[in-house]
Homo-oligomer: A and B are copies of this chain.
Amino acid sequence: MDDDVTDFGMRIPYLIRQVNHALSQRLDRALKPYSLTQAQLSALAILGHQHPAPSSGAELSQRSGVTPPSMSAALADLAGRGLVRRTPHPTHGRIVEVGITSAGRKLLREVQVATKAAEERDMGGLDAAQQEQLRDLLRTMMRNLDLYLPREEK
């Protein structure tokens, strides 16, 4: 009756943590040959897909779910490898605008093809309807948690 407290393994945050951990490890492994961290992939993906939307480090860190220092370090590395370009001032002195380079775009394509395959394997146990359901639930949670949500835009 008081196993109210015994349901630990059934709590959603616990389940999410487990699933994320497994997926995350697989992603890291897939990313290793490219020497990219998840934060770096996230930054490249945002820069590569957001129409012609270059961003500031602050914005990238927020959308990627990492702290500004983490993103700062990630970008410094990417810039050193010529995958992104940091232009010190747009017209505003303290913002550093970040944009993806063509080399970055090329790498992004490669990585996305590689990770997509692995992902489909991992998601294979869910049919299309279930995946859609899961996506909706997670997006609802993101809204509730005040996380940045990429627009639905078909």
Return chain B residues, CB-CB under 8 Å to A116: 5
**What copy number does this chain have within its complex?**
2
A76 to chain B, nearest CB (A): 22
- Beta-carbon contacts under 8 Å, A96-154 to B: 109, 112-113, 116, 119, 122-126, 130-131, 133-135, 137-145, 147, 149-150
User: Does any Cβ of B come within 8 Å of A13's Cβ?
Assistant: yes
A32 to chain B, nearest CB (A): 16
Measured CA separation A113–B11 after assembly (Å): 13
Number of A interface residues in the complex (CB < 8 A): 51
A69 to chain B, nearest CB (A): 15
Name A's B-contacting residues (CB within 8 A).
Answer: 3, 5-6, 8-13, 15-24, 27, 38, 45, 49, 65, 109, 112-113, 116, 119, 122-126, 130-131, 133-135, 137-145, 147, 149-150
